[in-house]
C-alpha cells in the first residue's frame, strides 16, 4: 500500500471519528436542552399552582374584610337612623358607635408567591398575558387596596383626635384581644349629636369612604382574581399535557 493511500485511509478514519464526536455532542446538547425545558415547565406549573392556592386564600381574606367593613356600614346606618329620625338613645348604640369606627387593616394580597416568582424571574411564566396580569395584580391592584385602606385608617384615627374626642367618652374602649372586636363608645351628649353637623358630615362621609376606599378596590380585585384563577387552571392543564 502506498503512503498516499495510507494517509487517505487515516484521514477518512479521523474525519469519521470527528463526525461521531460532533453528533454525540449535538445529541447531548439536545438532551440537555430538553431536560432544561422539562424542568422549566415543571417549575412553571409548580409556581402557577402556588398562585392558585394563594389566590383562594386571598379571596377568603377579601370576604372576611368585606364582611368586617359591611358590619361597620350596618352600624353607621343604625346610628344615622336614630339620629335623623330623632329616636331615643338605647344601650346598644354604644356598641354601634364602636363598630362603626372599626379598622381591619389587612385587606391586601399576600405577596409571598409573587416574591418567589420575582426571585427566579417573572419570565418563568411563558404565557405573556397571564404573566402581565399577575404582575399588574401585585404592582397596581395590591397597591391600590393597601394605599386606600391606609387613607381610610388615617381618616378614622384623625377623627379620633380632632372630632370624636369632644363627643365621646373614649375611642375604641374594648378588649383588643377579642378577635370579634367587641367594644363600646359612649357619647357624651347623644341629644346634641342629633344636630351636630360636623359629626353628621363625618359619619355620612365615613360610610361613603368605606364604599370608595375599601369595597370598590376589594370587589374589583376580587373579580380579577376569580377570572385569573380560572385561566391559571386552563394554563396548568395545557402545560401538563404539553
d(CA 90, CA 74): 16
Asked whether the predicted pLDDT for residue 42 surpasses 60, the reply is yes
CA geometry: angle 152, 57, 207, nearest 5 deg: 25
Neighbouring residues of 144: CB distance < 8 A, sequence distance ≥ 6: 217, 221
- 188, 167 Cβ separation under 8 angstroms: yes
pTM to 2 decimals?
Answer: 0.84
Q: What percent of the chain has pLDDT over 70?
A: 84
Rg (CA), the chain: 32
pLDDT at 233: 96
Question: pLDDT tier at 38 (50, 70, 90 boundaries)?
Answer: confident
pLDDT at 105: 86
Average pLDDT in the 23-32 region? Answer: 69
The residue ranges of every structural domain in the chain are 3-240
pLDDT at 207: 95
Asked whether the predicted pLDDT for residue 6 surpasses 90, the reply is no
pLDDT at 94: 95
Asked whether the predicted pLDDT for residue 62 surpasses 80, the reply is yes
Buried/exposed code over 194-216 (b: 16+ C-beta within 10 A; e: otherwise): bebeebbebbeebbebbeebbbe
For the chain, the average pLDDT equals 89
pLDDT of 181-230, one tens digit each? Answer: 678 999 999 999 999 999 999 999 999 999 999 999 999 999 999 999 99
Asked whether the predicted pLDDT for residue 10 surpasses 70, the reply is no
- 145 or 178, greater pLDDT: 145
d(CA 173, CA 177): 12
Tell me the three cell numbers of residue 196: 351636630
- 213, 153 Cβ separation under 8 angstroms: no
CA geometry: angle 149, 83, 161, nearest 5 deg: 45
H-helix segments, the chain: 3-84, 93-100, 112-120, 128-136, 142-162, 190-193, 197-209, 216-240
Amino acid at each position: 500500500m502506498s503512503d498516499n493511500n495510507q494517509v487517505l485511509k487515516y484521514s477518512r478514519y479521523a474525519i469519521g471519528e470527528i463526525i461521531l464526536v460532533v453528533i454525540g455532542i449535538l445529541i447531548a446538547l439536545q438532551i440537555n436542552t430538553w431536560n432544561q425545558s422539562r424542568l422549566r415547565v415543571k417549575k412553571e406549573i409548580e409556581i402557577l399552582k402556588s398562585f392558585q392556592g394563594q389566590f383562594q386564600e386571598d379571596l377568603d381574606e377579601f370576604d372576611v374584610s368585606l364582611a368586617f367593613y359591611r358590619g361597620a356600614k350596618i352600624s353607621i346606618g343604625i346610628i344615622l337612623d336614630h339620629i335623623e329620625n330623632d329616636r331615643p338613645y338605647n344601650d346598644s348604640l354604644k356598641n354601634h358607635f364602636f363598630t362603626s369606627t372599626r379598622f381591619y387593616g389587612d385587606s391586601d394580597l399576600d405577596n409571598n408567591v409573587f416574591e418567589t416568582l420575582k426571585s427566579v424571574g417573572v419570565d418563568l411564566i411563558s404565557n405573556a398575558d397571564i404573566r402581565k396580569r399577575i404582575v399588574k395584580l401585585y404592582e397596581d391592584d395590591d397597591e391600590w387596596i393597601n394605599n386606600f385602606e391606609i387613607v381610610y385608617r388615617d381618616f378614622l384615627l384623625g377623627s379620633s383626635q380632632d372630632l370624636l374626642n369632644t363627643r365621646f367618652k373614649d375611642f375604641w374602649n374594648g378588649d383588643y384581644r377579642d378577635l370579634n372586636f367587641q367594644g363600646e363608645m359612649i357619647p357624651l351628649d347623644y341629644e346634641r349629636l342629633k344636630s351636630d353637623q360636623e359629626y353628621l358630615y363625618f359619619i355620612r362621609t365615613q360610610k361613603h369612604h368605606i364604599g370608595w376606599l375599601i369595597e370598590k378596590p376589594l370587589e374589583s380585585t376580587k373579580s380579577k382574581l376569580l377570572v385569573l384563577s380560572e385561566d391559571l387552571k386552563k394554563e396548568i392543564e395545557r402545560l401538563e399535557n404539553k
